[in-house]
Chains A and B, each alone.
Chain A
Amino acid sequence: MEWLNAIVQGIMLGGLFALFATGLSLAFGVMRFVNLAHGDLAILGAFVAVSVISATGLNPFVSLVIVVPVMLAAGYALQLGAFNFTISPDPLPSILVTFGLGIVIQNVLLETYSADSRGLDVGSIEIESIRVTDAIAIGWIPLITLVVAVTVLGALQLMLSRTSLGRAFRAVSDDPPTARLMGINDRNLYAVAMGIAFATVAVAGVFLGIRQSFGPLDGPAQLLYAFEAVVIGGLGSVWGTLVGGLLLGVAHTVGGQFEVTYGYGSGPLVGHLVFLVVLATKPSGLLGRRAE
């Protein structure tokens, strides 16, 4: 039962990982853009929520109504004003620029909010859960996180497969010069994609902040998990990102079962091992398209 419980909790945790990974996967899929500041952006989103909440007294969930548009606009503007100049077949410029951006975000957050850990308080729902059996209880917060993750990824998948915006994203991902012949403004489309990436990672950051305490320097660890989820699931596949996140979450909680014996850190360690096994045996990821 302990193991079953670990798996159930892992799926819940995986929802959060998938939410983190969504924007990373989208930016890479649409424009081969590797955003090393992605984890720091999640933390930034959580801190924006802290400010919004202290200014308005809103519930953290409701604060998303402000946090998400703010981050969406920031992503759009940053892509147009900066990231677009790094777009090239060579991912190195984007890696360097976003590595620098991550450091800037960390330092600005340290200056503005100090190094103290924070949490986002949603009240008693934090400790309430649904009891499934004697040994298994599903917390409301993890459940809501999972539902939101599945909804966000499902909406993204629908957008990509059914709408004219999604068609344009796929065309640009295939072949930007030919997409321009269709009248598609690829630079503007990249900005839209980055806006969506920022918006989703801000949601992830706020849910992280509800789930656990966070500080200005917590971004890189989140980036690592997001990367692992994307690679496990397969680059450029929306459902792959969800599967990757869930699998990574299960690896963390199942691995966590060994913590009693081997000490703290066995959960993330098992996560890294799963990542390495997938990378070694199926480099394109579980649901990924074959490498081009």
Chain B
Amino acid sequence: MTLLEVRGLDAGYGDFQALFGIDVDVAVGETLAMIGANGAGKTTFLRVLAGQVPAWAGSIMFDGTDIAHVKAHRRVGLGIALVPEGRMLFGSLTVRENLIIGAHAGRSGRWNIDTVLDVFPLIRPLLDRPSQVLSGGEQQSVAIGRALMSNPRLILLDEVSLGLAPVVVKSLYDALPALSEGGATVLLVEQDIGQALAVASRLVCLLEGRVSLEGRPDGVARSDITAAYFGLPASSGTEASS
């Protein structure tokens, strides 16, 4: 069953067009990784889905209805949660308040502070701290937890690993299966191809605002991914050794 069906999506900022005719499908329960170089339009795509950037053209069917023109603050209630690039915790709220506010207009379901803390036990002792004093990895855990608190059907993760040490990234990625098991469909954006391929059931590559490749991680050649990522001419199609 398809949860999200994006067709012919154009979007941008002012006169600048960042996305050109994007078609993407996300099936219920899958983990879709969107990769692409810096500036390819990945963040813009997620922000359009969350309603922070308006769609210029095209449709965004979410569970059968077009939400392209639904206001941002109504989308979390429909079941879309964005973990934004740069975490964007609320600086004047404590960690606990940052989590609670995630449920402000969300749906009911299995996620609450306790179940979120089961997934991210390291933030339990930090609950009453101001969110600014947390390390990058802790902040990212809170940002994911905050999104979970709304019991999303579709969770959008924007560069979870950005600026974090490899061990921290690993622990965050280790938590991802818990999101799917909790019933959420995951769309994650990464610049780090290896990281994305390890967890994704499907892969979409963006290049300069267009989809340049789509497929299953085990079904596309590494060289094709590299070509789609950097905009190089496609390889002859032979499987590259990795």
Contact = CB atoms under 8 A, between A and B. Distances in A.
A168 interface: yes
A183 B90 contact: no
A178 B83 CA distance: 10
Contacts of B88: 175, 178
B37 interface: no
Contacts of A184: 73, 101, 104-105
Interface in B53-81: 71-77, 81
A164 B104 contact: yes
Interface string B94-106: 0001001110111
* Size category of the binding interface on chain B: 20 to 34
Interface in A158-183: 164, 167-168, 170-171, 173-175, 177-183
Nearest to B78: A183
B82 interface: yes
B52 A181 contact: yes
B92 to A, nearest CB: 5
A185 interface: yes
B51 interface: yes
Given A182-B105, A183-B106, A174 B84 contact: no
A186 interface: yes
Interface string A193-209: 00000000000000000
B77 A183 contact: yes
A170 B105 contact: no
B101 A181 contact: no
Contact of A183 (B91, B92, B100, B105): B105
Given A164-B104, A168-B101, A183 B74 contact: yes
A291 to B, nearest CB: 14
B172 to A, nearest CB: 19
B26 interface: no
Contacts of A186: 73
Nearest to A181: B82
Which of B51, B97, B150 has the most A CB atoms < 10 Å from its CB? B97
B93 interface: yes
Contact of B100 (A167, A177, A180): A167
A88 B146 CA distance: 27
Contacts of A181: 50, 52, 72-73, 76, 81-82, 84
Contacts of B75: 183
B93 A174 contact: yes
B46 to A, nearest CB: 11
A180 B102 contact: no
A164 B93 CA distance: 12
A167 B104 CA distance: 10
B150 A174 contact: no
Which of A171, A179, A181, A184 has the most B CB atoms < 10 Å from its CB? A181
B130 to A, nearest CB: 11
A157 to B, nearest CB: 14
Contact of A174 (B51, B71, B92): B92
Contact of B90 (A164, A174, A180, A185): A174
A180 B97 contact: no
A170 B93 contact: yes
Nearest to A166: B97
Contacts of B102: 182
B73 A183 contact: yes
A168 B90 CA distance: 10
A192 B146 CA distance: 25
A167 B97 CA distance: 7
A174 B104 CA distance: 16
Contacts of B82: 181
A86 to B, nearest CB: 20
Contacts of B72: 177, 180-181
Interface in A180-231: 180-186
A257 B228 CA distance: 80
Which of A164, A178, A179, A185 has the most B CB atoms < 10 Å from its CB? A178
Given A168-B101, A183-B76, 10 more contacts: A167-B104, A170-B93, A174-B90, A181-B52, A181-B76, A181-B81, A182-B73, A182-B104, A182-B150, A184-B105
13 contacts: A168-B104, A170-B90, A171-B101, A174-B91, A175-B88, A179-B90, A180-B51, A180-B72, A181-B81, A183-B106, A183-B150, A185-B71, A186-B73
Closest 3 CB pairs of A and B: A183-B105, A183-B76, A180-B72
